[in-house]
Amino acid sequence: MKTFGYAAHSPDSPLVPYSFERRDLRENDVAMEVLYCGVCHSDLHMVQNDWDWTIYPIVPGHEIIGRVIATGSGVTRYKTGDAVAVGCMVDSCMECDQCKKGEEQLCREGMTGTYSAYDRITHEVTYGGYSKHLVVREEFVLRVPDGLDLSKAAPLLCAGITTYSPLRTWNVGPGSRVGVIGMGGLGHMAVKLAAGLGADVTVISRTKNKEADALAVGADRLLVSTDATAMEKAQSAFDLIIDTVPVKHDLNPYMPLLDIDGTLVIVGQVGPVSTLSTVPMILGRRRITASPIGGIRETQELLDFCAKKNILPECEMIRIDEINKAYERLKRSDVHYRFVIDMSSLTGPGENIGQNVCQN
């Protein structure tokens, strides 16, 4: 299938229109037209080759909402016209202990990333959701439940599941005391989801600037981390702290905030962190850990949960030709809180700019 999208060809070149092919449908494949695609911080990191594993050209995008346009002969779960979603992975071995548990993101052979990875069968490079069409095996396609706003659901597929998975892993529910460090794409979802699960939620931020925003998305309060008195008072006040800060930072001030057996879970890919004191960890049996996305079953649970509770990301809709400008704003954290690309703005080679090729 011939298709087209936007690709970067080197770490310092902008995203530009790009034509390429999607594979012919395998028996268990679902082909979809992409309707909306979220813009994740990882997209920017990968385009810039910040983690040194980018394969160029790269077509980013792993927060994908689409509509099924064709299915392989063996597909049983989806039919043409269904609203579907795809997140950060498109394949895994499906046979190891982790895959069998539904934790495909932890596959012993490594999950296959939605973009800039190698297909398990053909070894072709995978291309993501900044494109008109996508072909994915049905086991890695999610169902978008009725009632979930298609135009806003895309960020659930990465920002949503990345924060939902630790909330579920550490059994957050009514009565849980949850802290959220950082109020960006991930942070605002962590607040909404923790509140939706019934937790008491505190945003932890360097200044009071984001207090109104924090309360507006469902937090109970904001704790200013540079206020020594407030930090002293908040000692042992949390069962779980989700740290969403996307750059290197000092974790030491946050450790005493955890109660005994409390957990600080890092979800931002920051690489090396600052030197860490074991004192508060040992004295309070506190833990630091990290967490990636969730498995397919948990991601479906998240979509169903959000539909039921009417939880949606705060989105700013952009056109695909605004993507490079959006990246500049992302670098300055100038987004409330997630860009979503309206993929009907993506026109194919030879089509008039502005002509809508989406028939839905």
Q: Which residues bind Zn ion (CB under 5 A)?
A: 40, 42, 92-93, 96, 99, 107, 158
144 close to 303: Cβ distance less than 8 angstroms:
yes
In this structure, the number of other CB atoms found within 10 A of the CB of residue 128 comes to 29
CB 184, min distance to Zn ion, A: 12
C-beta closer to Zn ion: residue 107 or 219: 107
CB 53, min distance to Zn ion, A: 15
Please enumerate in sequence order all residues whose Cβ is within 8 A of that of 133, keeping only pairs 6 or more positions apart, or say none: 1, 3, 22, 31, 32, 33, 34, 69
CB 43, min distance to Zn ion, A: 7
Q: Rounded to the nearest 10 degrees, how much is the dihedral formed by the CA atoms of 257, 168, 309, 154?
A: 100
C-beta closer to Zn ion: residue 120 or 206: 120
CB 247, min distance to Zn ion, A: 16
CB 99, min distance to Zn ion, A: 3
CB 55, min distance to Zn ion, A: 17
Side-chain half-sphere exposure of 264, counting CA atoms within 13 A: 26
160-88-23 Cα angle (round to 5): 145
State the DSSP code for 41: H
C-beta closer to Zn ion: residue 55 or 93: 93
Dist CA 111 CA 114 (whole Å) = 9
In this structure, the number of other CB atoms found within 10 A of the CB of residue 112 comes to 22
C-beta closer to Zn ion: residue 158 or 307: 158
CB 276, min distance to Zn ion, A: 26
C-beta closer to Zn ion: residue 107 or 141: 107
CA-closest candidate to residue 43, choices 105, 90, 110, 88 = 88
C-beta closer to Zn ion: residue 96 or 150: 96
CB 48, min distance to Zn ion, A: 14
Order of all β-strands in the sheet with 221-224 = 221-224, 200-205, 177-181, 238-243, 258-266, 287-290
Dist CA 335 CA 28 (whole Å) = 38
Dist CA 356 CA 295 (whole Å) = 34
C-beta closer to Zn ion: residue 93 or 125: 93
In this structure, the number of other CB atoms found within 10 A of the CB of residue 98 comes to 18
C-beta closer to Zn ion: residue 159 or 320: 159
